[in-house]
Amino acid sequence: MIKPHGSDKLNPLYVMDDAKRAALLKEAEGLPSIVVSSAAAANAVMMGAGYFNPLTGFMNLADAMGTAENMKTASGLFFPVPVINMVRDASSIKDAKRIALKDPNVDGNPILAVMDVEAIEQVPEDKMKLMTEKIFRTMDMEHPGVKAFNTVGNTLISGPIQVLNYSYFAADFPETYRTAMQIRADIEKAGWNKVVAFQTRNPMHRAHEELCRMAHDQLGTDGILIHMLLGKLKKGDIPADVRDECIRTMVDKYFPANSVMITGYGFDMLYAGPREAVLHALFRQNCGCTHLIVGRDHAGVGSYYGGFDAQKIFHDEVPKGALELEIFEADHTAWSKKLGKIIMMRDAPDHTKEDWVFLSGTKVREMLSEGKDLPIEFSRPEVAKVLMGYYQSQK
């Protein structure tokens, strides 16, 4: 199986020994504590689950700036985005060397992790601006990732962590949430060596379904990992439980048995386009995948990124050999009226706009809200039924 990023073996930060974890929880109750942001909580969960291997905790300012500027920490470790814990006010943990991090996303703010504080640093405005521009390629506060990054505070707390739970993800999505360790074990159990991952924060329509099939066939992989984001999204995005039902409905009906693993991970979407695509590749390598599908506007939002910037970054900015995982470069995929099937648009240079079945997100939502069936060329009827139930319930 493909090696994890940065080490021979995966080093998850979750404390697996029950007795040790119980002792740490008891210790944490007497430690100075702070409620972290949703983004920092998700970072802790991802480190606990092994997705952000080989990190041992939250980055300091030097490492954060290095990853923002050239995708390398001060020690030279390749990492595409800063993994940081920023807060507005650290006065509750002043001078403390060991603290408890509390979860903002679960009632009662339970303890999420124990942290050894190595530094508490103020991030100057010019460095916040530089990080924002490098990560998101825009300073526009209308960009959901930019807004989230710049509204949690500028006090950076760094140091190693020990993760004590997986926040709400394991409890709310018991059939879907999987750690990188669990996915690697499942891949090994299935006897798969070559695995292609499909990243999604949306329900899968027929174009997504066919894209997975194309990648699977063209790469000759043993299986497909459908890996959905279960964390915080922007307003208007479809909730994770609805997406989960849509994807399971599609896979059960239209894919051969034992060819697809349906899983999810606990992270808040950055909407950082190219940089987030590289992060997606890194943690899919940590899952044991050999390939990741990167399509049009991967991890993007609005019109902040070019259609294929998320593919170009792997050629233009990611150092050769930085990752073992390879990407499968996909074009926009849609139903061809001429050919009567779904293909990549680059494979049909003779087609005009009228030869394709296109539906905007706005049109899809409008039709489902009005109880109108989606075209079968766009969505499987079983999937459309699940979506329609959701939109009808929102009236």
Catalytic residues: 201-202
Alpha helices in 177-255, H assignment, sequence order: 180-190, 206-219, 240-254
Helices and strands: H and E segment counts in the chain: 13, 15
Q: Which long-range contacts (CB under 8 A, 24 or more apart) does 131-135 make?
A: 131/64, 131/65, 131/68, 131/82, 134/68, 134/69, 134/275, 135/68, 135/81, 135/82, 135/270, 135/272, 135/275
Closest of 112, 114, 94 to residue 103, by C-alpha: 112
Q: Answer for the pair 102, 36: CB distance below 8 angstroms, yes or no.
A: yes
Q: Answer for the pair 12, 181: CB distance below 8 angstroms, yes or no.
A: yes
Q: Collapsing DSSP states into helix, strand and coil, what is residue 13? A: coil
> Angle formed by the axes of helices 61-70 and 125-136, to 10°?
40
Residue partners of 206: CB distance under 8 A and separation at least 6: 335, 342, 377, 378, 379, 380
Q: What are the E-state strand segments in 148-306?
A: 155-163, 195-200, 223-229, 260-265, 291-294
Kindly write down the DSSP assignment for every residue of 30-45, as one continuous string.
Answer: TS-EEEPPHHHHHHHH
